Chains A and B, each alone.
Chain A
């Protein structure tokens, strides 16, 4: 049996196979999809223009850097911590006023009031309710940091970090003591506002609305522009704020409602300590927010402005 010999039958089979393969290939080729092309490439490109022409880069102003967002959170945490230390440990208003002006400049005028923990209530509520909606880590941190601090040390956030509080704090000129009953009744408004804000934020689709942002009275000042009626409302709040200390914080702020709940559970808070103080009442007269009742600080209403300590004739170091 010779190995090289090929019988005619085998040769025919081979040729037939090749023919079949060729036919298969030819029949398959047109089935490949045609590349879609624009009929005429009208826009001249670097090559067709010639002369060393370079296409200029398309301008792309990028959003805020990640590390700048982390800086926002870090500053929030730092400012809240500093406020706790100044009010509870140093018992002084001096540094606190500067801290609050710094917060107003940074979170208010530089960051233009966004992102803020007050507005983040809506995003957090929506993200918890809607499975398709989520919020960035920065927003989550912004929402929880002041609450956790309040759970241990009270609402120090209100005193020196919140830009909305700070802008009202600088206009406090001649605060009158509002009647306690009126204070209480108006104070209930913030719980209603909180409920409404969450209700509207979690509604589906076009019915959804972010009330807190829509009716933010001071964001127009932070942005130096805004709807005329909102600027007018903000101006009205500031004028009212000259005589009634921080009206938005005390009666409307929905985040203040959450903070005051947390503050009730706080281990430490602003105290006018029995037996250690003079009980002269200068502090109660100095409090523009009606948060000192019968010579004692009312924790849920105290906004950590430290005016009571500033008005105290005793040396703060002796009271520690």
Chain B
């Protein structure tokens, strides 16, 4: 009987010390924790997003490397910065032949994810003063970055950037895109920094 009790006591002691060690570790981690960390594209590093990178091919690693079926990275138009141009270099393939409407005949987006909508009344006599809204259909965009690259000076204003879509991103420990990104543009940020 006493042998059993001693064994029980030993078991309880070991269990207690393991529990205390785990509690200590957990406490250490909890005190250090500062909320959730999210992956975000650093626009200053991304080849497609950053200004001044002109005449290069669009980098589409975000589309091809992401582990979810439709990449969690997609193009976002910061509408307040958008020039709302008549001939948008991100919407049209501006090197394609001009059609009867006086517009380039091809669109740039391979998935037709950009919607062009006239703002107000269109004056056909004065095309330079007609404004158009360019809405990006998030359900279609796969973040290939072609429009992002074209929306830059001298023609664009850099209003389109690549961003991570958090409803799709599974927040991998080791983001597959970040492993391949040549500019190391995917960074882990706190929620505030990533969404701001």
Establish whether residues A42 and B67, one from each chain, have CB atoms under 8 Å apart when the complex forms: no
Interface assignment of B44: CB less than 8 Å from any CB of chain A = no
Q: Which residues of A contact B28 (CB under 8 A)?
A: 128
Stretch at the interface among B32-40, B54-62, B95-103, B106-114: B32-40
Least Cβ–Cβ distance between B62 and chain A, in angstroms:
15
Interface assignment of A177: CB less than 8 Å from any CB of chain B = no
Interface assignment of A17: CB less than 8 Å from any CB of chain B = no
Establish whether residues B174 and A45, one from each chain, have CB atoms under 8 Å apart when the complex forms: no
Establish whether residues B131 and A148, one from each chain, have CB atoms under 8 Å apart when the complex forms: no
In whole angstroms, what is the CA distance A305 to B89 when docked? 60
Q: Which residues of B contact A56 (CB under 8 A)?
A: 79, 133, 135
Closest to A114 in B: B170
Establish whether residues A62 and B11, one from each chain, have CB atoms under 8 Å apart when the complex forms: no
Q: Which residues of A contact B11 (CB under 8 A)?
A: 265, 267
Q: Mark B18-33, 1 if CB is under 8 A from A, else 0.
A: 1100100110111011
In whole angstroms, what is the CA distance A49 to B118 when docked? 11
Interface assignment of A51: CB less than 8 Å from any CB of chain B = yes
Establish whether residues A43 and B195, one from each chain, have CB atoms under 8 Å apart when the complex forms: no
Least Cβ–Cβ distance between A114 and chain B, in angstroms:
5
Given A56-B135, A59-B76, A61-B138, A135 and B33 touching (CB < 8 A)?
yes
Q: Mark A132-173, 1 if CB is under 8 A from B, else 0.
A: 001111101000100110011000000000000000000000
Establish whether residues B172 and A58, one from each chain, have CB atoms under 8 Å apart when the complex forms: no
Q: Which residues of B contact A318 (CB under 8 A)?
A: none
Establish whether residues B77 and A58, one from each chain, have CB atoms under 8 Å apart when the complex forms: yes
Closest to A226 in B: B67
Establish whether residues B172 and A225, one from each chain, have CB atoms under 8 Å apart when the complex forms: no
Interface assignment of B1: CB less than 8 Å from any CB of chain A = no
Count: A-B pairs, CB below 8 Å: 124
Interface assignment of A179: CB less than 8 Å from any CB of chain B = no
In whole angstroms, what is the CA distance A134 to B190 when docked? 11
Interface assignment of B116: CB less than 8 Å from any CB of chain A = no
Interface assignment of A214: CB less than 8 Å from any CB of chain B = yes
Interface assignment of A75: CB less than 8 Å from any CB of chain B = no
**Chain A: interface size category:** 35 or more
Establish whether residues B25 and A137, one from each chain, have CB atoms under 8 Å apart when the complex forms: no
Stretch at the interface among A25-33, A116-124, A291-299: A116-124
Of listed B133, B173, B174, residue having the most chain A CB within 10 A: B173
Interface assignment of A209: CB less than 8 Å from any CB of chain B = yes
Given A210-B174, A267-B15, A144 and B22 touching (CB < 8 A)?
yes
Establish whether residues A151 and B121, one from each chain, have CB atoms under 8 Å apart when the complex forms: no
Within 233-268 of A, Cβ neighbours of B (below 8 Å) are at 262, 265-267
Given A49-B131, A63-B191, A267-B11, A136 and B36 touching (CB < 8 A)?
yes
In whole angstroms, what is the CA distance A142 to B150 when docked? 44
Least Cβ–Cβ distance between B19 and chain A, in angstroms:
6
Interface assignment of A127: CB less than 8 Å from any CB of chain B = yes
In whole angstroms, what is the CA distance A134 to B33 when docked? 5
Q: Which residues of A contact B2 (CB under 8 A)?
A: none
In whole angstroms, what is the CA distance A119 to B169 when docked? 17
Establish whether residues A213 and B173, one from each chain, have CB atoms under 8 Å apart when the complex forms: yes
| Interface contacts beyond A50-B120, A112-B68: sample of 19 additional A-B pairs, CB < 8 Å, sorted by A | A43-B83, A43-B84, A49-B84, A55-B79, A56-B133, A114-B170, A123-B173, A124-B25, A134-B29, A135-B37, A136-B37, A144-B25, A148-B19, A148-B22, A213-B174, A262-B18, A265-B11, A265-B18, A266-B15
Closest 3 CB pairs of A and B: A63-B166, A51-B120, A61-B167
